[in-house]
């Protein structure tokens, strides 16, 4: 219920006591007193001569509990924010290109990412998106951190620490929770507090747990932070135990999901709409469901866990994990490949029937490296074919599938983060032309969006000359993993990887799209070393010149 409005000479406080007995306040303070103020309505009169101006500053604060929070004035808030922005900038590699519009996209993307990153007691964490998902999501946080890991590794450290702190310890069917599982979503609103929705601390995602291990491995490759890995190892072990004990529901060697509560999500991959997994005739897939991309995440989790085990002196565990990764790769390519579709099926259903559907999920099999080398070019050709590539990006679903709808959330739309992962997957197999085509589509889309801000998703209608992509009406904008996607796609084009034993930055088969003549990387860090690099496109290759180097580090170009 609403509580009485409290008014002072230059402020108003609104309050509400929820069914959870929590009081929530919104306080508004004005820099000048209103001429009239009653029942929460304030009126101000200004008399201005020609060319004259006057200022009215309005400070707003939201807070919970019986005590009102402190209101911060504009100048103080601006100063604090600028200091925070500068602190992040000082720890981040800056990217500047020859294309001013591309620079606008990069700068807007990083500014949006900073806006969504919230400082927690465990470190920085990117909230998923505004307005619907302005809260921590496990999968979104992991992928966002991965996408910008090469320029901003501190974010991955914060994400890993936050998710380790909320890792499930008990079985709770109402929350789809099991020991070792990584959280899907955390909310602290009234409905969550009352249990009206399960999302107070909800674990209904099948992929967050292997992705947690995958991010830990990538973070170690990027930073060489052995002490952090050793501290995180118990959480990694619990995540691996979840894969063994709870992830493989029927013992067939694949990780599946089936919701444990009627209020939980029906589908628990990143495409979590109720109708996102189905057979070629449109029949919904029956749980437990083994998603194509999840097997790739588990494969990479095993491989990275083996690397981390070696780093902390657990060689026997490493050998076992490598063997499991190899066996999973063999099983996956046998069970999921669709010869007639030139791609991997989207999932195995509860009867172990393959869902022979062309979807972007198969691109994640390239991203993780689980696809056999000879199959990768065929998958990439399918993903970049007219039935899947809209001109702006790879669609979530091919246009000739029975549930295709370009205006749907997951069955025909285009998601920037999905495209960034597919771009990296193509680059992993040396298919840089496909990588650059995806980046070009994303860039072209940014030219038609407000502030060069790519939203969470847009519709999958085919590209038409002179027109931009059709916007999805309720998409989050900004959305963290959409904002970070440009950095991952650019990394894929350049082939940037890191070797931290003897510090080295590798550029594997680096390429730049035609709209970029060159770019400069400033303050690219590895260990204690810092580099500035100038990268230029030539007719048949790319040149990389070191223009500043502090500390011991090598740069290798692999062609």
List the pLDDT tens digit at each of the 559 positions of the chain. 899 998 888 899 999 999 988 899 999 999 999 999 888 899 999 999 999 999 999 999 888 876 666 788 888 988 998 998 899 989 999 999 999 999 999 999 999 999 999 999 999 999 999 999 999 999 999 999 999 999 999 999 999 999 999 999 999 999 999 999 999 999 888 888 888 777 789 999 999 999 999 999 999 999 999 999 999 999 999 999 999 999 999 999 999 999 999 999 999 999 999 999 999 999 999 999 999 999 999 999 999 999 999 999 999 999 999 999 999 999 999 999 999 999 999 999 999 999 999 999 999 999 999 999 999 999 999 999 999 999 999 999 999 999 999 999 999 999 999 999 999 999 999 999 999 999 999 999 999 999 999 999 999 999 999 999 999 999 999 999 999 999 999 999 999 999 998 999 999 999 999 999 999 999 999 999 999 999 999 998 999 999 999 999 999 999 9
248-280 in b/e burial notation, b at 16+ Cβ within 10 A? bbeeebbbbbbbbeebbbbbbbbbbeebbbbbe
H or E element that contains 5: strand 2-7
Which residue from 132, 185, 137 is spatially nearest to 474, judged by alpha carbons? Answer: 132
**CB neighbour list of residue 440: distance below 8 Å, 6 or more residues apart:** 513, 514, 515
Instruction: Tell me the helix, strand and coil percentages in the chain, rounded to 5.
Output: 35, 20, 40
Tell me the pLDDT tens digit for each residue of 59-105.
Answer: 998 888 766 667 888 889 889 989 988 999 899 999 999 999 999 99
**Integer Rg of the chain from CA:** 25
pLDDT number for residue 324: 98
Q: How many C-beta atoms surround the C-beta of residue 153 within 10 A?
A: 21
pLDDT of residue 292: 98
Structure tokens at 173: 């069917």
SS3 299: helix
Contact by Cβ (8 Å): 100, 517: no
Torsion angles phi and psi, residue 545, rounded to 5: -120, 135
- Does residue 79 have a cis peptide bond before it, meaning omega lies within 30 degrees of 0? no
Beta strand ranges found along 269-335 (DSSP E):
290-291
User: Do residues 492 and 216 lie in contact, with contact meaning Cβ atoms separated by under 8 Å?
Assistant: no
Tell how strand 554-558 and strand 542-550 pair up. Answer: unpaired
Q: Two tokens at 222?
A: 């990027």
The confidence score (pLDDT) of residue 501 equals 87
**Strand order in 554-558's β-sheet?**
496-499, 504-508, 554-558
| CA distances (Å), origin 384, targets 270, 353, 393, 505, 510 | 21, 26, 8, 30, 20
Helix (H, G, I), strand (E, B) or coil at 496: strand
Q: Which of 363, 399, 364 is nearest to 379 (CA)?
A: 363
Give the distance, in angstroms, between the CA of residue 257 and the centroid of all CA atoms in the same chain. 21
The domains located in the chain, with CATH, are 2-71 (no CATH), 169-383 (1.50.10.10), 504-558 (2.60.420)
Residue 383 token pair: 């993903």
Contacts of 49 (CB under 8 A, 6+ apart): none
Q: Please state at what angle helix 432-446 crosses helix 416-428, rounded to 10 degrees.
A: 160
The SS3 call for residue 93 is coil
Note whether 407 and 472 are within 8 A (CB): yes
pLDDT at 361: 99
Question: To the nearest 10°, the Cα dihedral for 75, 77, 83, 84?
Answer: -160
Chain centroid to CA 45: 47
Q: Is the peptide bond before 474 cis (omega within 30 degrees of 0)?
A: no
pTM for this structure?
A: 0.95
Which residues, 6 or more positions from 163, have their beta carbon under 8 angstroms from its beta carbon? 138, 141, 142, 182, 183, 208, 212
In the chain, how many H helices and how many E strands?
15, 22
| Residue 389: closest CA among 447, 283, 461, 473 | 461
CA pair distance 66, 3, nearest whole angstrom: 12
Q: Give residue 209's pLDDT.
A: 99
Q: How far is CA 59 from CA 2, 64, 130, 358, in A?
A: 21, 17, 21, 51
pLDDT of residue 142: 99
Report the SS3 class of residue 79.
helix
**283 DSSP 8-state letter:** P
Whether the Cβ atoms of residue 11 and residue 28 lie closer than 8 Å to each other: yes
């Amino acid at each position: 219920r609403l509580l009485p409005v409290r008014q002072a000479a230059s402020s108003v406080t609104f309050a509400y006591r929820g069914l959870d007995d929590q009081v929530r306040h919104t306080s508004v303070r004005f820099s000048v007193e209103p001429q009239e103020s009653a029942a929460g309505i304030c009126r101000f009169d200004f008399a201005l001569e020609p060319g004259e101006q006057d200022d009215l500053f309005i400070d707003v604060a939201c807070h919970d509990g019986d005590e009102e929070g402190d209101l911060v004035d504009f100048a103080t808030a601006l100063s604090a924010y600028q200091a925070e922005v500068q602190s992040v900038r000082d720890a981040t590699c800056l990217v500047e290109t020859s294309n001013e519009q591309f620079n606008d996209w990069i700068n807007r993307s990083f500014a949006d990412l900073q806006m969504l990153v919230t400082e927690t007691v465990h470190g920085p964490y990117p909230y998923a998106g505004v307005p619907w998902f302005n809260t921590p999501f496990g999968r979104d946080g992991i992928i966002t951190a991965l996408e910008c890991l090469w320029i901003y590794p501190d974010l991955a450290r914060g994400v890993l620490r936050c998710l380790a702190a909320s890792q499930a310890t008990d079985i709770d069917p109402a929350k789809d929770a099991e020991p070792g599982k990584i959280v899907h979503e955390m909310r602290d609103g009234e409905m969550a507090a009352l249990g009206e929705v399960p999302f107070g601390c909800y674990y209904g995602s099948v992929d967050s747990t292997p992705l947690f291990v995958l991010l830990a491995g990538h973070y170690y490759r990027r930073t060489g932070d052995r002490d952090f890995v050793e501290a995180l190892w118990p959480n990694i072990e619990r995540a691996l135990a979840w894969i063994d004990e709870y992830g493989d529901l029927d013992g067939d060697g694949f990780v599946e999901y089936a919701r444990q509560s009627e209020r939980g999500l029906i589908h628990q991959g990143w495409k979590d709409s109720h109708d996102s997994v189905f057979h070629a005739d449109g029949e919904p897939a029956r749980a437990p469901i083994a998603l194509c991309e999840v097997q790739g995440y588990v494969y990479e989790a095993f491989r990275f866990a083996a690397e981390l085990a070696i780093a902390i002196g657990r060689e026997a565990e490493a050998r076992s994990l490598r063997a499991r990764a190899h066996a999973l790769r063999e099983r996956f390519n046998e069970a999921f490949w669709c010869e007639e579709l030139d791609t991997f099926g989207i999932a195995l259903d509860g009867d172990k029937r393959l869902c022979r559907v062309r979807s972007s999920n198969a691109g994640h099999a390239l991203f993780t490296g689980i696809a056999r080398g000879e199959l990768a070019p065929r998958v990439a050709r399918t993903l970049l074919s007219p039935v899947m590539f809209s001109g702006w990006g790879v669609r979530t679903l091919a246009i000739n599938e029975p549930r295709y709808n370009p205006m749907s959330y997951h069955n025909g739309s285009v998601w920037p983060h999905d495209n960034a992962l597919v771009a990296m997957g193509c680059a992993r197999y040396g298919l840089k032309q496909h990588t650059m085509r995806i980046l070009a589509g994303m860039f072209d889309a940014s030219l038609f969006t407000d502030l060069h801000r790519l939203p969470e998703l847009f519709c999958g209608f085919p590209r038409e000359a002179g027109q931009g992509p059709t916007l999805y009406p309720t998409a989050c904008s900004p959305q963290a993993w959409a904002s970070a996607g440009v950095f991952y796609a650019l990394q894929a084009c350049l082939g940037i990887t890191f070797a931290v034993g003897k510090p080295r930055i590798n550029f594997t088969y680096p390429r730049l799209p035609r709209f970029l003549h060159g770019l400069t990387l400033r303050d690219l860090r590895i260990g204690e070393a810092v580099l500035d690099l100038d990268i230029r496109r030539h007719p048949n290759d790319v040149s990389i010149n070191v223009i500043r180097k502090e500390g011991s580090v090598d740069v290798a170009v692999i062609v």
